[in-house]
Structure 1
Amino acid sequence: MIFIIGLAAAGLLGLGFVAQQHAAYREPLGRMLHPSLLLDLIHKPLWLAGLAAMVGGQILGAVALSGADVSRVEPLLATNLVFALVIGRVVCKENLHWNEWLGGLMASGGIALFLVLGSPRGEHPTGPESGRWLAAVGIVFVVLILVWIGRRSPLQTRAMLLAAAAGILFGLQDAVTRGLLIRIGHGLGAILASWQPYALVVVAICGLLLAQSAFDAAPLRVSLPAATAAEPITGILLGVVVFTERLRLGAGPLVGEILGLAMMVAGIIILGRSPYLAKREDDVAGCAEARLP
């Protein structure tokens, strides 16, 4: 049952990403990284449908995580990239070459291999007052650097960097959510008195803006892999630093983790070299044009 729920969550996430990207892709490039991008997208039925699908996938993912270890569920959720490519190909008639399928499979497979072999154990409760949460400041600093470099990079590179920054924020969002769930027994008042619920809202909105800006710049096969890879890895790193989880560092698991990371990076590079990398100022997403009434 966990396997089915996990795959259903990944499918909904993939569907949500496809719908959101094809709505965001129609926006002018001048709106990238500007709040007006989100304000415009919330009036588009296609984007709202994608957002609903993404939320549904996150809820199913949480249900799966409540009944199984992270090492069993996260690899299933990481297949959302493959689902997105398949849905884009079937629904939107996007032409995908063999190297793009190979890149998608390598990226998703590498993520899954890293998560299965490196999944941390031994989580300890960490309150919002703990100094370990200062690691979140470092995460935000990395995101700011990626955005700064991305704004000065060619469009296809910008899409991947913004997507990676979004994935990192999504990983931070997962960690903050985990911290809230750990303290849920203390009561609603204690939760609202801490910084975590407010930080969660800010991080979620900023991550959404970065993701839609990446979708505005390039197709999913360019903009999504970096986000798909960055989220679980960031979540694991924060789990180790904030919740004192322990990664598997034996000789066998360590080799597999390195191999998984290498596969993931190679898959992203293959996808990033797609002949159709990014739109011009006058491009329009054909799928969205065709599907909207």
Structure 2
Amino acid sequence: MLENNAVAVVFALGSALTIAWGTVVRHRIAVASGENRSGAIWDAIKQPTWWVGVASALFGYLLQIVALAFGTLLVVQPILVLSLMFTLPLSAKYDGRRISASETAWAGLLTAAVAILVVRGNPAPGHREPDLSVWLVCLGIGAVILLAFFVYALQQAAALRALVLGSITGAIMGYVAVLSKAVVDVFSDAGTAALLASWELWTLIAFAAIGTAVQQASFNAGPLKNSLPAMTVVEPLVAFVLGYIVLGEKFQIEGWEYAYMAAAIAVMTISTVILSRKSIDEEEASAAGGANHTDTEAAPNAGATGAETAAS
């Protein structure tokens, strides 16, 4: 398929927006169901809106695949980080509130950093058929490191365990991003039969399944604010490194330009952490508000019951 980063940007933005909307929908349902209540998960999945949110996530991934078919990983991956920025106004609309000045400022910095990476970096396409030996080295080293961190995480207290497991999830999803690009290239060059026979497809499925399991373990280990920021930051960083090493993609820069590209990556990382924590804080505040509303409604009923008992 013809390389066209402009088309890739359009589909990547569509993917980021779709994923953000689906995330907000599922989070709203989780809050309404009561995340800590027994049976809350089953209550959520019984709602058609929850399935709409899941479908939007799958559609968002499909748009990501299309974006990768047209453009480089180094173009698509930074734009996907903007899903976090899109989550803020969508969540604010659901909650009936305004976005704060600090949220707007950090969202602006994130957007500027992504723009610098995509526009000024102008990533060049890499190898459509990366060397298998490079793949094996990166997969082997990654597996050993991530397994060691997983064992370490199991021995830690809840907060640190959630942080480490979140980081592991982000790293695995970074591999998923690179494998997705490889799968798209195999399909574009050789068709469906070759794709089904390729090791890239089945490795992608395995990594996605493992990543989902570790992600759930990180959520179960402690508060979302301990795992989600690490997860969100590590994924693009790992994808960048693997894109350089495995796929051979490169930013078209030289000399001192590396300095401001590094600064853009740093700003993107910091903005992502802060915005993800703000998003979680708003969700927790919304959940607390819902709980207080429920308690307020329950109190008069409890009083009436007591009065009836005394009268009898």
1:267 is displaced (CA, Å) by 2.4
Residue 132 of structure 1: aligned partner: 135
Q: Is 1:179 the equivalent of 2:185?
A: no
Quick check: 246-255 or 141-150, which moved more? 141-150
1:71 is displaced (CA, Å) by 5.3
Equivalent position to 1:76, from 79, 85, 94: 79
Q: Which amino acid in 2 is paired with 1:258?
A: A
1:81 is displaced (CA, Å) by 0.6
Residues 12 and 80 in structure 2, CA contact (< 8 A), matched pair in contact too: yes
Paired with 1:146 and 1:44, the residues of 2 have a C-alpha distance of 37
SS, match of residue 251 in structure 1: coil
Instruction: Sort the Cα spacing of 1:17 and 1:114 in 2 relative to 1 into closer, same or farther, 3 A.
Output: same
Equivalent position to 1:257, from 242, 258, 261: 261
1:55 is displaced (CA, Å) by 1.5
1:53 is displaced (CA, Å) by 0.9
Deviations 1:163-218 (A, max 9, x none): 43333222211222222233334454444344322221121122233445555654
1:259 is displaced (CA, Å) by 0.7
Residue 33 of structure 1: aligned partner: none
Quick check: 54-63 or 136-145, which moved more? 136-145
Paired with 1:56 and 1:14, the residues of 2 have a C-alpha distance of 12
1:271-282, aligned counterparts within 5 Å?
A: 271=275, 276=281
Residue 9 of structure 1: aligned partner: 15
Q: Which amino acid in 2 is paired with 1:192?
A: L
Paired with 1:95 and 1:215, the residues of 2 have a C-alpha distance of 28
Paired with 1:22 and 1:209, the residues of 2 have a C-alpha distance of 22
Structure-2-length-normalised TM-score: 0.67
Instruction: Sort the Cα spacing of 1:250 and 1:39 in 2 relative to 1 into closer, same or farther, 3 A.
Output: farther
1:269 is displaced (CA, Å) by 5.0
Instruction: Sort the Cα spacing of 1:214 and 1:92 in 2 relative to 1 into closer, same or farther, 3 A.
Output: farther
Q: Which amino acid in 2 is paired with 1:9?
A: S
Paired with 2:249 and 2:133, the residues of 1 have a C-alpha distance of 15
Instruction: Tell me how many residue pairs correspond in the alignment.
Output: 280
* Greater relative CO, 1 or 2 (CA 8 Å, sep 6+): 1
Q: Is 1:204 the equivalent of 2:197?
A: no
Instruction: Sort the Cα spacing of 1:105 and 1:140 in 2 relative to 1 into closer, same or farther, 3 A.
Output: farther
Residues 69 and 184 in structure 2, CA contact (< 8 A), matched pair in contact too: no
Instruction: Sort the Cα spacing of 1:87 and 1:71 in 2 relative to 1 into closer, same or farther, 3 A.
Output: same
Q: Is 1:63 the equivalent of 2:66?
A: yes
Residues 67 and 76 in structure 2, CA contact (< 8 A), matched pair in contact too: yes
Q: Which amino acid in 2 is paired with 1:175?
A: V
Instruction: Sort the Cα spacing of 1:153 and 1:103 in 2 relative to 1 into closer, same or farther, 3 A.
Output: farther
Residues 17 and 86 in structure 2, CA contact (< 8 A), matched pair in contact too: yes
Residues 84 and 276 in structure 2, CA contact (< 8 A), matched pair in contact too: no
| Structure 1 residues not aligned, in runs of 5+ | 31-36
1:82 is displaced (CA, Å) by 0.7
1:139 is displaced (CA, Å) by 2.9
1:244 is displaced (CA, Å) by 2.6
Equivalent position to 1:88, from 80, 91, 95: 91
Q: Is 1:237 the equivalent of 2:241?
A: yes
Instruction: Sort the Cα spacing of 1:270 and 1:7 in 2 relative to 1 into closer, same or farther, 3 A.
Output: closer
Q: Which amino acid in 1 is paired with 2:82?
A: T
Deviations 1:133-164 (A, max 9, x none): 32023333444455455552553x55554443
| Structure 2 residues not aligned, in runs of 5+ | 1-5, 295-312
Residue 306 of structure 2: aligned partner: none
Paired with 2:191 and 2:231, the residues of 1 have a C-alpha distance of 33
Identity of matched residues, %: 23
Equivalent position to 1:170, from 170, 173, 198: 173
Instruction: Sort the Cα spacing of 1:272 and 1:81 in 2 relative to 1 into closer, same or farther, 3 A.
Output: closer
1:92 is displaced (CA, Å) by 3.6
Residues 113 and 260 in structure 1, CA contact (< 8 A), matched pair in contact too: yes
Q: Which amino acid in 2 is paired with 1:81?
A: L
Paired with 2:42 and 2:200, the residues of 1 have a C-alpha distance of 25
1:250 is displaced (CA, Å) by 1.4
Give the number of the structure whose alpha-carbon radius of gyration is greater: 2
Residues 240 and 246 in structure 1, CA contact (< 8 A), matched pair in contact too: yes
1:14 is displaced (CA, Å) by 0.7
Q: Which has the higher helix share?
A: 2
